[in-house]
Structure 1
Amino acid sequence: MDKSKLYVFTSPLRRLIPFSLLVKISRQKMLFPFWHAVAPVPPPHIRHLYPVPSPEQFRRDVEWLLRYFKPVDLSGAIRYITREAYPEKPVMHITIDDGFRESFDFIAPILKDLGVPATFFISPAFVGNHDLSYRCKASLVYHQLLRPNLPECIPSGITRAFMKKGLPVPDFRKAVLEIPYRHREMLDHLGLVAGISFEEYLREQKPYMDDEQIRWLQAEGFHIGAHSIDHPWYPDLAPGEQLRQTLESVDFVRNMYGELFPVFAFPFT
């Protein structure tokens, strides 16, 4: 059955049946809710990629989850996954992907205040703001293209760049957001065309956490996990590169931060 049709079909049931009963019926004992970022105003490097809740909304969401799920730390989650232990009531372990600075600024303080453990997944290429994910570059370029009275040289320059790659350009703005990992080098050129300096953005905005902030998370009891080297789209990678991205990022987390449980989360999942 189509998932969208299933959602529509079950929507009235969700209004009539208490959520606690739905959880019981599902027999789902473990939940892994995840977020990427939380911010009062979504920053442009992620604004056009996915919804970014406010800190207030994030707190409300976590408080709501706490009504139905007991929070457990990473070691507890692993014990349940490996069936070394069985939860008496539904449990959850919150995960935060991508290592954005908002993890330090907003997410961790709220979780700490609520007494909720979590694992923060990071990519070595971005720690300390040495580089920017290709998806974030796309969001920044797209954001720039939304300006009113955009000079004609910008859309024409972007269109030419796509044509040189033999890529279709039905909508030059939308096309920027659809650039795949295998063509990520295009975004550096498109940034120049759009008048963006990614280096300046990294230096001034500091979109990612640095080493000190990550270590603060650990000191507060949170865990650090691996999230690939530079957040690629794994289906685009050869098997050997998939292994390298995975193992090197896990080694980074183990060696840099001494995590006893060097867990890994696939990008885009």
Structure 2
Amino acid sequence: MVSPTSHEAKSTGIRERLGELCYNTGLLNPLQKMRAWWQKDLRILAYHRVMPVPDPERYPFDMELISTSPEEFREQMLLVKERYRPMRLTDVAAAINAGQALPPDAVVITFDDGYDDNYRIVYPILKELGVPATFFISTGHIDSGRPYAYDWLVHMILLTNANRLELPELNMDEPMPATRAERRALAIRVLGNMKEISALTQAAMIRRLETAWNMPSDHAYPADCRPMNWDQLREMRAAGLEIGSHGVNHWMLSKLPREELEREVYDSRNALLRELGPMALLMSYPVGSNRAFDREVIEVTRDAGFDLACSYISGTNLQPASNRYSLYRIAVERYYGKAWFAALLALPGLIGYPTPAHLAYTDTSCSH
């Protein structure tokens, strides 16, 4: 079941009101041109899933991974094509390597995880409009077809018959809420708390719940949580789209011992080269916040031969060469209307919401 509107209601803040004012009065175009004259930064848009936005009361997976609807995504890509300079991430790397400046209003489209709606819905739209994009995939899920662990955890919390949520790993022990909305809020809290523990402990906790609640992910391949397969990715790459690494298991790389960190980076690289052939190597750190990568992660990524890496820290890149292994991105959320999206892209520093740890990792020592 799909909600009546393509994006959910969200309290209107001053940034959104300002963006809509600029859009409705026709100011965005001249403001964008003025900004491009004095600030030639790289915008990288970050998406996860594109699908008809479902009814939260019926949809049994993580709503927060839905970036936008198919109709709105097509509108967004038309705007990018008409008003900006859409680029391949490998072209950004080539410009950095050559010491060349990027063109004004450069925009890169990226997707994380590798859900199959990226093939079914996103790929035809990009192909129709001729807009390039990079898809960062967790290769272990592409290999197995299993649902993504964080999304499966949300699924279990939403549907379990357990009376209590007992997570000693997170010092949480509380009654299981009765309503779907309360369970969604609880799942978001659990995911947030998990970012403070090791990736291997996270994985063990999820496996323990699968056993305790008799909800094993290795026997379930639900259509609503399905990754792409290698044949689909080969077709997309043949059409000119780029495929990059999002690790093997979607583990937070900074939360891994060095040996496991290297295995995640190198094994994902080897899977890409094995299945898709020689290519420029591009990385997006799973989760991608300042807690999900650090200087050791950057070092391993660089040493494995990756040309660029994206974080999930909010912002644009004024000098991409200075943070080529921690590029900032602008997340696209499902509640963005047309005006808000247009304003966010035209005036990201004014309309966007900055990440507090914006300058946590500027890897000036990591240039090729």
Same fold (TM over 0.5): yes
For residues 10 and 58 of structure 1, the distance between their equivalents in structure 2, rounded to whole angstroms, comes to: 19
Name stretches of at least 5 consecutive residues in structure 2 with no aligned partner.
1-12, 177-182, 288-311, 313-368
Give the structure 2 partner of residue 191 of structure 1: 210
Instruction: For residues 79-100 of structure 1, give each alpha carbon's deviation from its aligned partner in whole angstroms, at most 9, with x where no partner exists.
Output: 2333543334322221111111
Give the structure 1 partner of residue 49 of structure 2: 37
The amino acid of 1:12's aligned partner reads L
CA 1:26 to 1:187, structure 2 compared with 1: closer, same or farther past 3 Å?
farther
For residues 26 and 129 of structure 1, the distance between their equivalents in structure 2, rounded to whole angstroms, comes to: 48
The amino acid of 2:234's aligned partner reads R
Aligned residues: 251
Alignment pair present for 1:138 and 2:153: yes
Give the structure 1 partner of residue 173 of structure 2: 169
Alignment pair present for 1:12 and 2:18: yes
Identity of aligned residues (%): 20
Asked if the contact 1:95–1:119 (Cα under 8 Å) also holds between the matched residues in 2, the reply is yes
Equivalent positions of 1:248-267 (< 5 A) are 248-267=267-286
73, 77, 90: which is aligned to 1:75? Answer: 90
Asked if the contact 1:34–1:95 (Cα under 8 Å) also holds between the matched residues in 2, the reply is yes
Q: Which moved more, 1:168-177 or 1:84-93?
A: 168-177
Give the structure 1 partner of residue 352 of structure 2: none
The amino acid of 1:32's aligned partner reads I
Give the structure 2 partner of residue 50 of structure 1: 65
Tell me, what secondary structure is at the counterpart of 2:135?
Answer: strand
For residues 10 and 54 of structure 1, the distance between their equivalents in structure 2, rounded to whole angstroms, comes to: 19
Q: Which moved more, 1:119-128 or 1:108-117?
A: 119-128
Asked if the contact 1:128–1:208 (Cα under 8 Å) also holds between the matched residues in 2, the reply is no
CA 1:51 to 1:75, structure 2 compared with 1: closer, same or farther past 3 Å?
closer
Question: Cα distance, 1:55 vs. partner?
Answer: 0.4
CA 1:167 to 1:128, structure 2 compared with 1: closer, same or farther past 3 Å?
same
Question: Cα distance, 1:24 vs. partner?
Answer: 2.2
* Richer in helix (by share): 1
Question: Cα distance, 1:63 vs. partner?
Answer: 1.7
Alignment pair present for 1:246 and 2:258: no
Q: Which moved more, 1:176-185 or 1:56-65?
A: 176-185
CA 1:141 to 1:202, structure 2 compared with 1: closer, same or farther past 3 Å?
same
Alignment pair present for 1:123 and 2:149: no
121, 126, 143: which is aligned to 1:111? Answer: 126
Give the structure 2 partner of residue 4 of structure 1: none
Backbone CA RMSD of aligned residues: 2.9
Question: Cα distance, 1:226 vs. partner?
Answer: 0.8
For residues 170 and 92 of structure 2, the distance between their equivalents in structure 1, rounded to whole angstroms, comes to: 47
Asked if the contact 1:121–1:265 (Cα under 8 Å) also holds between the matched residues in 2, the reply is yes
Alignment pair present for 1:155 and 2:149: no
CA 1:50 to 1:260, structure 2 compared with 1: closer, same or farther past 3 Å?
closer
CA 1:31 to 1:170, structure 2 compared with 1: closer, same or farther past 3 Å?
same
For residues 166 and 249 of structure 1, the distance between their equivalents in structure 2, rounded to whole angstroms, comes to: 29
Give the structure 2 partner of residue 227 of structure 1: 246
Instruction: For residues 142-172 of structure 1, give each alpha carbon's deviation from its aligned partner in whole angstroms, at most 9, with x where no partner exists.
Output: 3315xxxxx5xx123x33xx24x47223564
For residues 26 and 171 of structure 1, the distance between their equivalents in structure 2, rounded to whole angstroms, comes to: 55
For residues 256 and 242 of structure 2, the distance between their equivalents in structure 1, rounded to whole angstroms, comes to: 28
Asked if the contact 1:215–1:257 (Cα under 8 Å) also holds between the matched residues in 2, the reply is yes
Which structure would you say has the larger RCO, counting Cα contacts within 8 Å and 6 or more residues apart? 2
Name stretches of at least 5 consecutive residues in structure 1 with no aligned partner.
1-6, 146-150
The amino acid of 1:155's aligned partner reads N
For residues 120 and 243 of structure 2, the distance between their equivalents in structure 1, rounded to whole angstroms, comes to: 16
For residues 58 and 238 of structure 1, the distance between their equivalents in structure 2, rounded to whole angstroms, comes to: 38
CA 1:83 to 1:26, structure 2 compared with 1: closer, same or farther past 3 Å?
farther
Give the structure 2 partner of residue 24 of structure 1: 36
Q: Which moved more, 1:240-249 or 1:7-16?
A: 7-16
Question: Cα distance, 1:14 vs. partner?
Answer: 7.5
CA 1:28 to 1:143, structure 2 compared with 1: closer, same or farther past 3 Å?
farther
For residues 190 and 228 of structure 1, the distance between their equivalents in structure 2, rounded to whole angstroms, comes to: 23
